[in-house]
Amino acid sequence: MSEKIAVLGAGSWGSILANLLVENGNDVRLWSYNAQQVEELNSKHTNEKYLPNFTYSDKLVAYSDLKEALIGAETVLFVVPTQAVRSVAKPVNEAIEELGLKPYLIHGSKGIEENTYLRLSEVLAEEIPESNRKAISVISGPSHAEEVAKKDITLITAASEDLEAAQHTQQLFMNDYFRVYTNDDVIGVEIGAALKNIIALGAGALNGLGYGDNAKAALMTRGLAEISRLGTSFGANPFTFIGLSGVGDIIVTATSTNSRNWRAGNELGKGVPLDTVVNQMGMVIEGLTTVKAAYELAKQRHVEMPITEAIYQVLYENKAVKEAIRNLMQREGRSENND
Ligand SMILES: NC(=O)C1=CN([C@@H]2O[C@H](COP(=O)(O)OP(=O)(O)OC[C@H]3O[C@@H](n4cnc5c(N)ncnc54)[C@H](OP(=O)(O)O)[C@@H]3O)[C@@H](O)[C@H]2O)C=CC1
Ligand SMILES: O=C(CO)COP(=O)(O)O
């Protein structure tokens, strides 16, 4: 299978996925709004800030002009940070209309839009009408760019309400080290993908505070329980949360030093102020915004999410972390069967 693909967003994830798609035999145009980064990718085949010490295929061409990047695209893959998806989708819609295209849309971002609390497939559907596109699919799962760059074994999910679109995505990405499953539960996959970043922040913080493995396992397990409560309130399939986009992604993000969310939590746990952590990271820490949306959604939908609430209060309401942990531990005793 060989296609013309536009990849939008040249951070660590967008750039390595673009490289993988080139290696799979596709004709890939990678777009970034940063002209300097485009110049570096095209002249040196590197992307030092986002994926240090990696050399990209010389067949991968980067563009800073969005319309040029979209010429001939049969598939458009969005991999910009969550809060940028809508602002990128608007000009994409105009360009694909002008160019007379009707591409498949895929996104690989993990978050909930601030203020609207929409999932990203919903944001794309709002900005790009069905008349201008084929079905939308979502890729998600335990997959750090740094390990994909090393061709380490990686398994992800391609979710779409349209099986043919999910299978199309599966075929585009599959290779010897990258295996893709289809899934029809877009809601569950997107909610799992977005909310695991909150748990990764919490797991990093526990590490920074000096807590041990029991505490981290407890956070991941009970975190997954509340993610699935919120997800099923929207109609997600509960089994999705024990799949790649649920428990799989929680394991990788909440235990790995590759995770920006985990690293941010770890620094916060050691007492580094939030703005310093964000500035030093220089890359997107999705959990910091998703926790606001999840906190509001939990309130709106009357879903109990005590861990999300505690992390929100520590980050944005100056609650002392030790007090937040004490409150969680002193909650009334529950049955694990009533989740
Ligand atoms: N990294 C990973 O391993 C994985 C990441 N993801 C998800 O993929 C998404 C992207 O992450 P990742 O690539 O890691 O992020 P990075 O922070 O590495 O890169 C983000 C890229 O998007 C650019 N960008 C920022 N704002 C805008 C905007 N408004 N319009 C256009 N481009 C913009 C950034 O440019 P600049 O910095 O110059 O502003 C940068 O090039 C996230 O949702 C993340 O959760 C999913 C799976 C794995
Ligand atoms: O989603 C990811 C891995 O599956 C990447 O996580 P971070 O954004 O925390 O680095």
**Torsion from C-alpha of 293, 299, 301, 304, nearest 10 degrees:** 100
d(CA 181, CA 154): 11
Please tell me whether 261 is known to bind a ligand: yes
The dihedral sign for the CA sequence 28, 80, 128, 238: positive
Q: Is 139 in the pocket of ligand 2 (CB under 6 A)?
A: no
How many angstroms is it from 285 CA to the middle of ligand 1? 9
Residues 268, 176 share a domain: no
Please tell me whether 284 is known to bind a ligand: yes
Please tell me whether 9 is known to bind a ligand: yes
How many angstroms is it from 244 CA to the middle of ligand 1? 21
Residues 142, 231 share a domain: no
Which residues are known to be catalytic? 196
User: pLDDT tens digits for 212-267?
Assistant: 999 999 999 999 999 999 999 999 999 999 999 999 999 999 999 999 999 999 99
Structural domain total, the chain: 2
Residues 160, 273 share a domain: no
Closest atom, ligand 1, to C-alpha of 111 = 43
Residues 311, 171 share a domain: no
- Side chain identity at residue 44, one-letter code: K
Residues 59, 15 share a domain: yes
Range of the domain at 281: 190-338
d(CA 132, CA 118): 21
Question: Where in the chain does DSSP place strands (E)?
Answer: 4-8, 27-31, 61-63, 75-78, 104-107, 136-140, 154-159, 178-183
Residues 31, 118 share a domain: yes
Closest atom, ligand 2, to C-alpha of 261 = 9
Please tell me whether 208 is known to bind a ligand: no
d(CA 24, CA 133): 23
In this prediction, residue 140 carries a pLDDT of 98
User: pLDDT tens digits for 86-129?
Assistant: 999 999 999 999 999 999 999 999 999 999 999 999 999 999 99
Q: Which residues does a 6 A CB cutoff place in the pocket of ligand 1?
A: 9-14, 32-34, 50, 79-82, 84, 87-88, 108-111, 143-145, 283-284, 286
d(CA 199, CA 269): 14
CB 248 within 8 A of CB 142: yes
Residues 249, 144 share a domain: no
Residues 106, 159 share a domain: yes
Pick from 331, 319, 339: nearest CA to 205: 319
Segments in the chain below pLDDT 70: none
- Side chain identity at residue 21, one-letter code: L
Q: In the β-sheet with 61-63, what is the strand arrangement from edge to edge?
A: 61-63, 27-31, 4-8, 75-78, 104-107, 136-140, 154-159, 178-183
Residues ≥6 apart with Cβ < 8 Å to 91: 66, 67
**Torsion from C-alpha of 243, 244, 245, 246, nearest 10 degrees:** 50
CATH of the domain at 164: 3.40.50.720
The best mutation among 82, 196, 253 to test binding of ligand 2, ranked by most ligand atoms within 8 Å of the C-beta, falls on 253
Q: Is 249 in the pocket of ligand 2 (CB under 6 A)?
A: yes
Residues 244, 97 share a domain: no
Structure tokens at 126: 């709002």
3-class secondary structure, 7: strand
CATH of the domain at 235: 1.10.1040.10
d(CA 261, CA 242): 21
